[in-house]
Homo-oligomer: A and B are copies of this chain.
Amino acid sequence: MSSIQDVARLARVSPATVSRVLNGTVGVSEELAKRVGQAVAELEYRPNHIARSLRTRTTVTWAVVITDIQNPFYTSVVRGIEDVAREAGYSVVLCNSDEDVDKEAEYFGVLASARTAGVILAPASVTDTRIDALLDQGIPVVAIDRRMESALVDTVLVDNVEGARQATAHLISLGRQRIACITGLLSTTTGAERLAGCRAALANAGVSANEQLVRIADFKESGGYQAASELLALADPPDAFFVANNLMTLGTLEALGDAGVAIPEQVALVGFDDEPWMAFATPSITVVAQPTYELGVAAAKRLLERVSGSDEEPQEIVLKPELRVRESG
């Protein structure tokens, strides 16, 4: 655990010179640079990032705050973020808010205290997510996947209304009449907009919307299972399902299986988010796929500009989802 002082002593130079060699900030004579190099090697010296951060008032850490670390959608987004961050010399911390605004706020406090260089955030709520703690410290924030009304920041997401519209229009084109929609929390823009897109498609096709066929669940497997079970138990059950994310699609499949309902004969199904297993399931699952990795890359690039000092107007970047028609609908 030797310090820059130890290296300086051994190389018979000043600490400042060691620092200059290590950081390559200004020219140092070859002779001294060589002595420093040898001393560093001999002592197995490792610069202390903490001291460095305190002095320079900067860190090389980004945080990604997501609502569910076990949702593969976010994992893939994080992968895109990481690749960009790594390239630019930043390391990435992952925080899991669990859809909980309080847990989220707690993390913001920690990140502010750690003087994190930048934050990429999937907000737990449109209205109640409060990022003041970060903004007060001048920490740039980029929102992903969901919009935020409580603060004006760069936002990267997919066109949820359009994706849901396409999915529903596809079900209509198959001749389905009673189309159910299982969406997520309306306190998130993803939940609200995917429902809106579904309704828009129905209205556009002149199909009368039936509020009985709309269910608000929680983006989780269990929520999807319960919603689908309730819908199947209706006197006049749906002949098609649009399900607004991957985990709820799994729950819906489970409910359909338990009820012995045949897909797509009795009930057609279109999900949101693509997963590897969905293409090989029997039947394979029709989905609206999101460009997850690209979403992460776009958000990270935006953050990179912010931490580099850009102060242009916050932007909204909207990526296009893609309908992948398979056997289930």
Contacts and interface: CB of A to CB of B under 8 A. Distances in A.
Interface of A: 1, 44, 46-51, 53-54, 59, 69-70, 72, 75-76, 78-79, 82, 91-96, 109-110, 112-115, 133, 136-138, 221, 250, 253-254, 257, 275-277, 279-282
Given A54-B54, A79-B69, A92-B94, A137 B46 contact: yes
30 contacts: A1-B138, A46-B113, A46-B136, A47-B113, A48-B113, A48-B115, A49-B110, A49-B113, A49-B114, A50-B54, A50-B114, A51-B54, A69-B75, A69-B82, A70-B75, A70-B76, A72-B72, A75-B75, A91-B93, A91-B110, A92-B93, A92-B94, A94-B94, A221-B276, A250-B280, A253-B280, A254-B279, A254-B280, A277-B281, A281-B282
B59 A112 contact: no
Contacts of A109: 46
A292 to B, nearest CB: 10
B44 A136 contact: yes
A130 to B, nearest CB: 13
Nearest to A277: B277
A15 to B, nearest CB: 16
A23 B133 CA distance: 20
A122 B46 CA distance: 24
A46 B280 contact: no
A75 B48 CA distance: 30
A92 B254 CA distance: 34
Contacts of A92: 93-94
Given A54-B54, A92-B93, 6 more contacts: A48-B54, A49-B114, A69-B79, A75-B75, A253-B280, A275-B277
Nearest to A74: B75
3 shortest A-B CB distances, which residue pairs?
A: A282-B282, A49-B113, A94-B94
B115 A50 contact: yes
Nearest to A111: B91
A123 B51 CA distance: 29
A114 to B, nearest CB: 5
Contacts of A138: 1
A250 B113 CA distance: 43
Contacts of A275: 277
A78 B82 contact: no
Nearest to A96: B82
Contacts of A1: 137-138
A253 B277 CA distance: 9
A91 B96 CA distance: 11
A216 to B, nearest CB: 22
